[in-house]
Amino acid sequence: MKFKKTHNIDELSLDLQGKEIVIGGWIEDLRKLGKLTFLTIRDVTGLAQVIVKDEGLVPEDITRQSVVLVKGVIQSTKARDFQYEIKADAVDILTKAIHPLPIDPIGRLESNIDNRLNARALDLRNQRVAAIFKIRHYVLQSLRKTLTEKRFIEITTPKIIGSASEGGANLFSLEYFGKKAYLAQSPQLYKEQLTIGLERVFEISSFYRAEKSHTGRHLSEFTSIDIEAAFFDYTDVMDVLEELVVSVFKDVKENCQTELKTLERTLDIPRQPFERVTYSQILKELADAGITLNFGDDLLDSHLKIVGEKHPGLFFLVDWPMSLKPFYIHEKDDDVKLSRSFDLQFGHLELSSGGRRLHDPAKIKARLLEQGLNPADFEDHLQAFDWGMPPHSGWGMGLDRLMTVIIGTDNVREVVLYPRDPDRLSP
């Protein structure tokens, strides 16, 4: 580099008129008008117009999307779209973009999602796409801030595990130094164990599920937000989840006005308290719609779409049958057929699932046997319950699905940089 960048574009204004600055970015547009060349330079923070009066500063074969450093002076402009312009004294061509490009990052020519994902790094120069991932950054920041304020401690659990966690299917298996191992689909068992000493824990991390699902909401690698809290009942962690989601919406609305405007997205803060709908109530609503289910039947996507029409916003689905829940979920005291568990729904879309966990090792072993699982396969997990396990509750929420709600898209691949699904393993 012949000179060093001094400013991001969003740091420039007419207050710096007459000052020499250096910006770095890519050429979004260029046009020649006689001996003058007008360059539109963009960096991650914004857009600036550069006027080049010396024909020798810009090569004839320069291309759009090439990366440059521009040294120049801030001056006033008559351009409608800019408050100032930069009169260039020097232009350093750092990297020339080779045309034709696989996609048009400006967005003048539309590309389908697969072509865009194949050139994802270039796709991020599209401001609508970049806005999504800037918002995702603030969502993560908001989640960590709120959970930390509630005295949760961030943890990192193993992603390579030696047994099928939660007794679940659809696990990716791999050879691990001569042994069979799996990719974790959840931090469930680890986060429960960690409440023994840390009491309140959370993790935001990637997990893996080997489902051959081809929908707009499923991925093979996904980001999950998980919490577990000692001495909390399931209603307590529901309250944490509700407050967390509302805080995210508020923080995005406050900090991401530019990005929301770019996306032409109006973000409404969810109303509190979230509605609480029982499983039995859902069965009645489905019956009214001509669909008869028995108590204990699972709710299929087709059922949830009907439910979502009546409950289009955020709501908790509670009082699930115990038969539909994993071995570690606690039953209700007043009705052992019902579980102390919940799902957080956005219409038909499940965002989160959680509940009160069993902390009595004898009950856990009995439940494992009921579900056809061998307690010996969970020996490492069960031993922690003999060391004094506190009552605890928790939940897991899909960050990617939450992002689709915030952005207003029905395709989860739009909010993940490099999504992995049954058909996509690259780039």
Domains and CATH numbers, the chain: 9-95 (2.40.50.140), 122-415 (3.30.930.10)
Which distant-in-sequence residues (6+ apart) come within 8 Å of 373 by Cβ? Answer: 167, 327
Bridge partners of residue 330, in order along the sequence: none
> Which pLDDT score, from 0 to 100, does residue 88 have?
97
17: how many CB neighbours lie within 10 A of its CB?
11
Distance, CA of 206 to CA of 225 (rounded, Å): 9
Cβ atoms of residues 321 and 295 within 8 Å:
yes
Mean pLDDT of 404-424: 97
Whether residue 347 is predicted with pLDDT greater than 70 in this model: the reply is yes
Cβ atoms 44, 9 nearer than 8 A: no
C-alpha 66, offset from chain centre: 30
Could you give the CA distance from residue 147 to residue 149 in angstroms, rounded to a whole number?
A: 5
d(CA 336, CA 304): 25
pLDDT over threshold 70, residue 167: no
Report whether 325 contacts 343 (CB < 8 A): no
pLDDT in tens, 21-45: 999 999 999 999 888 999 999 999 9
Percentage of the chain exceeding pLDDT 90 = 91
In the prediction, which pLDDT does 168 show?
A: 60
Residue 130's pLDDT band (boundaries 50, 70, 90)? very high
Give, rounded to a whole angstrom, the gap between the first and last alpha carbons of the chain: 29
Distance CA 376, CA 295 (A): 32
For residue 107, name the pLDDT band (cuts at 50, 70, 90): confident
